[in-house]
Amino acid sequence: QVQLVESGGGLVQAGASLRLSCAASGRTFSTYTMAWFRQAPGKEREFVASISWSTYVGDSLKGRFTISRDNAKNTVYLQMNSLKPEDTAVYYCAARRGLVGTDSVRSNDYNYWGQGTQVTVPS
């Protein structure tokens, strides 16, 4: 079983940047499609970005958010710039077996999940 641990969240002012990290266990990290989802209070879980050999970012987040991975370190990152109050949410790292070449937006497709890290951007 793969364990995922997110870090890097916190409280920042609007316009600031954060870089989230997700460290994965296991020896087959490079064969997994990785993703970030987020969930705000009272709202459904929302796809943020995914990465296999290519990257996809949710339409509303393009230009501000960037996903990347370092297979040598078993780590996936989410760079978040120009943060807005509406970005406030718990951000979850997820992994699915296999590499998919499209934006994998369905949470049910993912096999492993981290515990989440809180990002708060006050109004």
What would the pLDDT profile of 51-87 be if each residue is shown by its tens digit? 999 999 999 999 999 999 999 999 999 999 999 999 9
Residues 80-98: b if buried by 16+ CB within 10 A, e if exposed: beebeeebbbbbbbbbbee
Q: What is the CA radius of gyration of the chain?
A: 13
Query: From CA 52, how far away is CA 94, in angstroms rounded?
Result: 12
Q: Is the pLDDT of residue 34 over 90?
A: yes
Kindly list the distances between the CA atom of residue 71 and the CA atoms of 23, 28, 39, 58, 83, in Å, as whole numbers in the listed order.
10, 9, 26, 23, 27
Query: From CA 50, how far away is CA 36, in angstroms rounded?
Result: 6
**Pair type for strands 32-39 and 89-97:** antiparallel
> Which residues lie closer than 8 Å to 59 by C-beta, 6 or more apart?
none
Q: Is the sign of the CA dihedral 73, 110, 21, 63 positive or negative? A: positive
Which of 93, 91, 94 minimizes the C-alpha distance to 118? 91
Q: Which of 78-87, 99-108, 111-120 has the lowest mean pLDDT?
A: 99-108
